[in-house]
């Protein structure tokens, strides 16, 4: 299955990396650096999955997730987490209906498998 | 009142004497005064003494005062202060004596009860160990060494009296003492925190308050020092400061670790992607080396963030003995040479449960056990002892026979990034410290170089 994925992270190197990993798997990717940009982008284009960093400058990842849930009920959102991310915050994203997490502390192979699993589950739910 | 003739026989006595002694005229008049006074009293020494007083008085025709205890007719002791005055005839010869007695029993009793209060106070003061009170004269020599001084400072009174006070004060030069004395002279008193030196040359932190000591004419005759031992307070202050330092370091290191996180992720991911490329053997080898070093950084960052993260423990009732038992097999998976290490368990079977986060507590035990084993590269004994202390808390002691920790290193042992091992991150013990603190417990250690270390953890029962 080929997906159109929107990658949101404030750090360019991380965005490029995810883009490279996912395109290697055959997916199509677009990138955004902020929450505001993400919401604009979603209005213009249709995406199958959003890969969203919890920590963002401006509107936080959590706010973006809430907005997406309100506007696009069935769009799977996979959160990017890492070492030292606030556990309470992570718990809240679950409450707001994120589809899963991939951690920056995971080995690459695991990132891809985990990502695939989450998207699969999210799509099945729809 | 008694009148004696020149042969020392009683020729007259007043009513009061008869009242007090309960004797009749027939038992008094014409009798030797000493026989009457000592009728019920066989204190011969006092009797001889009085005889001497009388002889002296007669010989020199001088009035004398003396004290005798009499028994009244109820058998109670009465203290009488007598005045003996010779009656002189015209030829200057002594004709007889008049003995005028004054009952001083009450005053005496008051005096002795005052003495009792004095004794009691002295006893009370000598038991106060937190306060030392000593006086010095204008030359700076110790003239009084009282209250808890002996107990606090280890000196015996007789050894220290009249020695210069510099023996107690930890001043590098005499300026320190002069400064204090100058202040007392100018402002009447002075208060400061300093260290006093005990007989064994140990330092005791005290709050020293010093005052003028004035004589009856209001002239400065010395200085009074009252020292309060603040060792316990200092310990608490140290713990608070230590705690604050840990918290600050935690925040700082978490901030740094976080910033390292993203670039590290990118490096690690790119390295993994490069592995699939066709590269020369040398490049592949170098990439492997870079990968290993990156992994090291990743582990360190993981550790730092674990340390700084305020993870709230998930409490459940825990049987300490079982928790330790479960950790022991893990020791063998930690690349330790366990061949020559013997593990002894002295578990108190009568152990109540503590409220704790099992994983966190096990992390502590594992950490301490690994440290113990690492301190004994040539083998030794690790002794794990659990004790139920008065049904109040569980005490867990982990004792090794390893290399020990030097006193200089001991005070920093719980500080993050402080390690005695060349490959240690210095976070293990500070993580343990945090976990135990979050469990309302305490962790302490005693160590002796080349003899070993004992860690003592106390956790309150539910």
- Which region among A75-89, B147-161, B347-361 has the lowest average model confidence (pLDDT)? A75-89
How far is the alpha carbon of B258 from chain A, nearest alpha carbon, in Å?
Answer: 7
A83–B258: do the CB atoms touch at under 8 Å? yes
Digit-coded pLDDT (tens) for B29-70? 998 888 888 877 777 777 888 888 888 887 777 888 888 887
State the average pLDDT for chain B.
Answer: 84
CATH code for B234-310? 1.10.287
User: Residue A8: enclosing H or E segment and its boundaries?
Assistant: strand A4-8
| Per-residue pLDDT, B424 | 67
pLDDT (mean) for B368-383: 89
**B237 pLDDT exceeds 60?**
yes
Rounded CA-CA distance B304/B430 in Å is 10
| Per-residue pLDDT, B456 | 95
B263: which chain A residues are within 8 Å (Cβ-Cβ)?
13
Residue A82 touches chain B, beta carbons under 8 Å: yes
pLDDT (mean) for B2-11: 88
| Per-residue pLDDT, B334 | 63
- Assign a CATH topology to domain B129-229: Beta-Lactamase (3.30.450)
pLDDT (mean) for B167-184: 81
Proportion of chain B above pLDDT 70, given as a percent: 93
Structure confidence at residue B173 as a pLDDT band (50, 70, 90): low
Tokens of A65: 């997730």
Which of B266, B270, B309 is facing A84, going by the closest CB pair? B309
Q: Residues A66, A87: contact at Cβ < 8 Å?
A: no
Closest to A54 (Cα-Cα) out of A103, A18, A106, A6: A103
A84–B298: do the CB atoms touch at under 8 Å? no
A11: which chain B residues are within 8 Å (Cβ-Cβ)?
262
Which range among B55-59, B275-279, B413-417 has the greatest average pLDDT?
Answer: B275-279
Place of tokens 């719980």: B414
The interface predicted TM-score of the complex, written ipTM, equals 0.80
> Could you tell me how many CB contacts below 8 A there are between chain A and chain B?
46
Q: Helix or strand or coil: residue B103?
A: strand
Tokens of B78: 């009465």
- Whether the domain at B1-109 and the domain at B129-229 fall into the same CATH topology: yes
pLDDT (mean) for A37-61: 90
Structure confidence at residue B401 as a pLDDT band (50, 70, 90): very high
Proportion of chain A above pLDDT 90, given as a percent: 33
How far is the alpha carbon of A63 from chain B, nearest alpha carbon, in Å?
Answer: 22
Pick among A19, A80, A84 to test the B interface (most B CBs inside 10 A): A84
Cβ-based interface (< 8 Å): residues of B facing A: 254, 257-258, 261-263, 265-266, 268-270, 272-273, 298, 301-302, 305, 308-309, 311
Which of A14, A87, A111 is facing B266, going by the closest CB pair? A14
Rounded CA-CA distance B31/B5 in Å is 10
- Write down the domain spans for chain B: 1-109, 129-229, 234-310, 313-462
Which of B261, B273, B311 is facing A104, going by the closest CB pair? B261
- Which region among A90-94, B202-206, B211-215, B292-296 has the lowest average model confidence (pLDDT)? A90-94
- The pairing of strands B220-229 and B131-137 is antiparallel
Contacts of residue B341, defined as CB under 8 A and 6 or more positions apart, other chains included, come to B373, B376, B379, B380, B381, B382
How far is the alpha carbon of A14 from chain B, nearest alpha carbon, in Å?
Answer: 6
pLDDT (mean) for A66-83: 86
Q: Which CATH class is domain B1-109?
A: alpha beta
| DSSP sequence for B383-418 | EEEEEEETTTEEEEEEEE-S----HHHHTTTTSTT-
Structure confidence at residue B400 as a pLDDT band (50, 70, 90): very high
| Per-residue pLDDT, B346 | 93
Structure confidence at residue B410 as a pLDDT band (50, 70, 90): confident
- Assign a CATH topology to domain B313-462: Heat Shock Protein 90 (3.30.565)
| Per-residue pLDDT, A4 | 93
Residue A11 touches chain B, beta carbons under 8 Å: yes
Q: What is the DSSP letter of B9?
A: B
Structure confidence at residue B338 as a pLDDT band (50, 70, 90): low
| Per-residue pLDDT, B336 | 64
| Per-residue pLDDT, B396 | 94
Tokens of B27: 């038992």
Which of B261, B308, B309 is facing A82, going by the closest CB pair? B261
Rounded CA-CA distance B249/B257 in Å is 12
Task: Give the nearest chain B residue to A21 (CA atoms).
Answer: B273
Residue A20 touches chain B, beta carbons under 8 Å: yes
How far is the alpha carbon of A43 from chain B, nearest alpha carbon, in Å?
Answer: 29
Task: Give the nearest chain B residue to A110 (CA atoms).
Answer: B269
Digit-coded pLDDT (tens) for B78-103? 888 888 888 877 776 777 888 898 88
Q: Helix or strand or coil: residue B356?
A: strand
pLDDT (mean) for B448-460: 92
**A84 pLDDT exceeds 60?**
no
| Per-residue pLDDT, A31 | 95
Query: Which residues, listed in sequence order, are joined to residue B169 by a DSSP beta bridge?
Result: B196
Residue A23 touches chain B, beta carbons under 8 Å: no
Place of tokens 């026979």: B401
B257: which chain A residues are within 8 Å (Cβ-Cβ)?
83-84
Rounded CA-CA distance A71/A49 in Å is 14
| DSSP sequence for A22-87 | HHHTT-EEEEESSHHHHHHHHHHS--SEEEEES--SSS-HHHHHHHHHHH-TT--EEEEE-TT--H
């Amino acid at each position: 299955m080929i997906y159109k994925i929107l990658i949101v992270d404030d750090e360019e190197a991380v965005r490029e990396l995810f883009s490279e990993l996912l395109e290697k798997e055959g997916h199509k990717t677009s990138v955004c650096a902020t929450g505001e940009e993400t919401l604009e982008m979603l209005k213009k284009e249709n995406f199958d999955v959003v890969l969203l960093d919890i920590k963002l400058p401006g509107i936080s990842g959590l706010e973006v997730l809430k907005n997406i849930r309100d506007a696009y009920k069935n769009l799977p959102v996979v959160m990017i987490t890492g070492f030292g991310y606030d556990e309470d915050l992570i718990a809240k994203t679950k409450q707001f209906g994120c589809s899963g997490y991939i951690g920056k502390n995971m080995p690459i192979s695991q990132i891809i498998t985990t990502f695939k699993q989450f998207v699969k589950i999210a799509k099945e739910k729809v | 009142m008694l009148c004696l003739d020149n042969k020392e026989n009683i020729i007259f006595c007043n009513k009061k004497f008869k009242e007090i002694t309960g004797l009749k005229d027939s038992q008094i008049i014409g009798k030797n005064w000493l026989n009457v006074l000592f009728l019920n009293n066989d204190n011969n020494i006092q009797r001889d003494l009085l005889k001497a007083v009388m002889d002296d008085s007669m010989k020199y025709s001088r009035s004398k005062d003396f004290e005798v205890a009499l028994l009244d007719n109820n058998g109670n002791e009465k203290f009488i202060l007598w005045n003996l005055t010779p009656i002189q005839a015209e030829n200057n010869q002594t004709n007889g004596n008049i003995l005028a007695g004054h009952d001083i029993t009450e005053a005496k009793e008051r005096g002795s009860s005052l003495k009792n209060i004095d004794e009691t106070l002295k006893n009370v003061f000598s038991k106060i160990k937190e306060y030392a009170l000593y006086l010095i004269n204008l030359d700076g020599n110790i003239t009084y060494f009282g209250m808890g001084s002996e107990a606090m400072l280890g000196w015996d009174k007789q050894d220290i009296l009249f020695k210069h006070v510099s023996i107690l004060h930890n001043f590098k030069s005499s300026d320190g003492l002069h400064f204090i004395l100058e202040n007392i002279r100018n402002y009447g008193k002075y208060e400061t925190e300093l260290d006093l030196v005990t007989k064994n040359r140990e330092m005791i932190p005290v709050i020293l308050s010093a005052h003028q000591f004035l004589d009856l004419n209001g002239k400065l005759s010395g200085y009074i020092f009252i020292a309060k031992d603040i060792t316990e307070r200092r310990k608490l202050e140290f713990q608070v400061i230590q705690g604050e330092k840990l918290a600050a370091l935690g925040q700082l290191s978490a901030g740094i670790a976080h910033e390292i996180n993203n670039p590290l992720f990118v490096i690690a991911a790119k390295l993994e992607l490069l592995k699939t490329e066709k590269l020369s053997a040398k490049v592949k080898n170098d990439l492997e080396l870079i990968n290993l070093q990156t992994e090291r950084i990743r582990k360190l960052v993981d550790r730092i963030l674990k340390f700084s993260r305020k993870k709230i423990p998930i409490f459940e009732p825990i049987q300490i003995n079982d928790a330790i038992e479960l950790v022991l097999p893990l020791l063998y998976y930690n690349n330790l040479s366990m061949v020559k290490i013997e593990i002894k368990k002295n578990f108190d079977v009568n152990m109540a449960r503590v409220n704790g986060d099992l994983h966190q507590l096990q992390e502590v035990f594992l950490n301490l056990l690994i440290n113990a084993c690492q301190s004994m590269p040539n083998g030794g004994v690790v002794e794990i002892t659990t004790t139920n202390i008065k049904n109040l808390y569980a005490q867990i002691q982990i004792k090794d026979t390893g290399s020990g920790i030097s006193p200089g290193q001991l005070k920093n042992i719980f500080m993050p990034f402080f390690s005695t091992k060349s490959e240690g991150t210095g976070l293990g013990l500070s993580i343990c410290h945090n976990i135990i603190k979050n469990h309302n417990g305490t962790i302490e250690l005693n160590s002796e170089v080349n003899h070993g270390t004992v860690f003592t953890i106390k956790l309150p029962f539910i």
